[in-house]
Structure 1
Amino acid sequence: MMMTSVNTDYNNDLHDWGAIEHQIKCIAEAGFSHTQWIHDWEGEYLYSRSEMFQARDVLSYYGLKAHTIHASEGGQRDIFDAQGHRVPHVRQRCTRIRKDYTNPNEYLRLAGVDLLKNRIDLCSHIGANAMVLHMQLSFGMFQKNKEDMEDYYHQVYKSFDEVQPYAKAAGVKIALENLLFTPVKYELDKFERMFSRYDPEFIGLCYDSGHASIMCQDNYYLYLQKFYDRLYVTHLQDTDSVPAENLDDDLSVLHADAHRVPFTGVLDWDEIAYWVAKAPLELPADFEIGLKYSQAFESQEEEMRLLADCHERAVKFYQMVLDAKEKQ
């Protein structure tokens, strides 16, 4: 059986159960077997147990299996510039976040731990085996003062030490994602620190191919090559990348993160399939795509046509991974 997975928010991330269920229904009708639950990936929303049961039952009703989820690490990290453009606030600590497991304020840190445990509970209720976490780095702060970086990781370690037994008891792994905006050296440092401190039953990698195609301009596959043995989740998408001179322009980077379906951009999907085949990741690999994101489809027919095309690409990639496994 060919297994395929796509994100539940392929068109929007509205807090509207009607919109959520519509997307899940369409995913199932397009032929996908699995999904990554990504709704509420950003913000401080806490799922109640009744909502967790609702998510489980909606997925079950349409015959979809929950593969993974995208967890949140606190409030929105965006600000608006003088022209009214939404700009990611990632270089410094975002002070508006009230649930932040990296925060030096103990109350806010503990609230952030509660948010992580809430998403572990969501995994348990819907049957997902791993959750993605951004672990956004305030790298502008790190660049100014190395002590601030060590203080940041001190709080991270404290929080993850507390979360570890909870996650292991639930059988849920946390997969740290390679991010936009953050320079590669800080991302590598993040992964090396966390993978050396925590065992593979707790912490792994989520490879976002689109992010890598933008930030890792010398080698789109760097994180796969270095950390494939920790690869538990994927966010597979394609982009046209961005000129290297624009990497310090956060708006340019954000707009380049196109979340297009695979096989439409700069990435070598044979290379990605090779590393996915070597990894301990439980298939299928998750696609993370945006189909006319936050825009209305012209018709139900257009929506299903685009989803069917995405499913065909997911089937193709699944077969590529199987072929790569046979050759290894």
Structure 2
Amino acid sequence: MLTTSVNTDYNNDLHDWNAIEHQVEHIAKAGFTHTQWIHDWEGEYLYSKSEMFQARDILSYYGIKAHTIHATEGGQRDLFDAQGHKVPHVRERCTRIRKDYTNPNEYLRLAGVDLIKNRIDLCSHIGAKAMVLHMQLPFGMFRRSSSDMEDYYKQVCKSFDEVQPYAKAAGVKIALENLLFTPVEYELDKFERLFQRYDFDFLGLCYDSGHASIMCQDNYYLYLEKYHDRLCVTHLQDTDSVPREKLDDDVAVVQADAHRVPFTGVLDWQKIAYWVARAPLEMPADFEIGLKYNQSFESEKEELDLLSDCHERALKFHQMVLNEKELL
């Protein structure tokens, strides 16, 4: 059976259960079988147990299975310039984050651990087996001080050492995502350090194809080629990439992260299917797309037409993966 998965926040990430349920309902109407629960993917919101049951029951009511979730690293990094443009705070430590599993302040670090455990609990309640986690590296600090970089990873490992038994007991993997803004050499160092320290039962990779198409200018498939044996979650989306000379322009980079449906941009989806077929990823692969994001649809028909088109692309991709598996 061909299965398909798309993010719960395909149109908005409103902190509103009516908006959440509306999107889950339409995911089901479009024919999807699974979803990645992405609401509250950033910030420091803690789900109560009753809300976890509500999420479970909404998914169950519409016949949608929770495949994965998107956890939060804590806080919100976006600032705004005088023209109102979103400016990501990504090169240095973001001191506005109060629950931060990488923080040198032990109180804030432990609060970040609690936030991760809260999302593991959400996985357990709704039936998801893996969750995406950001680790936005303060690479400006890394460039200035190798000792600060080592101290950063000491805090990360302290937190992951504490989270690991909790996650394993729940049967939930954490998938580190390849991110925007951070130069490739620092992303590779992150994955190398942490994959050497932690086994796949705890820590894997979330491959974001759109992020790779922007940041990995020499090879969009670099992380798949190197770490396909760690692939446990995907964020499949397409972009037009960005000119290489714009990679240091954080506003240009975030604007290029289009989250378009696959097969509409620069990526070679046959290559992605090739590597997904060779990975331990439990299908379906998650699409992470934006359909008229933060805008109103003109009609329910427009919304369902766009979702149905996305669903057809998800079916096509799953079949491509199956075809590749037959060649193994």
Counterparts of 1:50 and 1:82, CA distance in 2: 41
Counterparts of 2:307 and 2:83, CA distance in 1: 35
Percent of paired sites with the same residue: 82
Once the 2 structures are TM-superposed, how far is the Cα of residue 266 of structure 1 from its aligned partner?
0.3
> What's 2:204 paired with?
204
Equivalent position SS for 2:176 = strand
> What's 1:6 paired with?
6
> What's 1:34 paired with?
34
Once the 2 structures are TM-superposed, how far is the Cα of residue 80 of structure 1 from its aligned partner?
1.8
> What's 2:73 paired with?
73
Counterparts of 1:104 and 1:65, CA distance in 2: 38
Q: How does 1:19-30 map to 2 (within 5 A)?
A: 19-30=19-30
2:177 corresponds to 1:181: no
TM-superposition CA deviations, 1:129-181 (whole Å, max 9, x none): 00000111011111111111111001000000000000000000000000000
**Amino acid in the other structure paired with 1:121:** D
> What's 1:155 paired with?
155
Once the 2 structures are TM-superposed, how far is the Cα of residue 210 of structure 1 from its aligned partner?
0.2
> What's 1:170 paired with?
170
Q: How does 1:1-328 map to 2 (within 5 A)?
A: 1-328=1-328
Equivalent position SS for 2:141 = helix
Equivalent position SS for 2:36 = strand
Counterparts of 2:46 and 2:73, CA distance in 1: 11
Counterparts of 1:59 and 1:119, CA distance in 2: 17
Equivalent position SS for 1:45 = coil
Equivalent position SS for 2:242 = coil
Equivalent position SS for 2:311 = helix
TM-score (norm 2): 0.99
Counterparts of 2:184 and 2:293, CA distance in 1: 27
**Amino acid in the other structure paired with 1:100:** D
Aligned residues: 328
Equivalent position SS for 1:35 = strand
Counterparts of 1:57 and 1:127, CA distance in 2: 11
Counterparts of 2:128 and 2:114, CA distance in 1: 19
TM-superposition CA deviations, 1:289-315 (whole Å, max 9, x none): 000000000111100000000000000
Moved over 3 A (4+): none
TM-superposition CA deviations, 1:24-83 (whole Å, max 9, x none): 000000000000000000000000000000000000000000000000010101112233
Counterparts of 1:307 and 1:86, CA distance in 2: 27
Which structure 1 residue ranges, 5 or more long, are not aligned?
none
Across the aligned residues of Structure 1 and Structure 2, the Cα RMSD in angstroms comes to 0.5
TM-score (norm 1): 0.99
Counterparts of 1:92 and 1:135, CA distance in 2: 12
Equivalent position SS for 1:165 = helix
Counterparts of 1:66 and 1:17, CA distance in 2: 17
Counterparts of 2:103 and 2:223, CA distance in 1: 27
Counterparts of 2:164 and 2:311, CA distance in 1: 35
Which structure 2 residue ranges, 5 or more long, are not aligned?
none
Equivalent position SS for 2:233 = strand
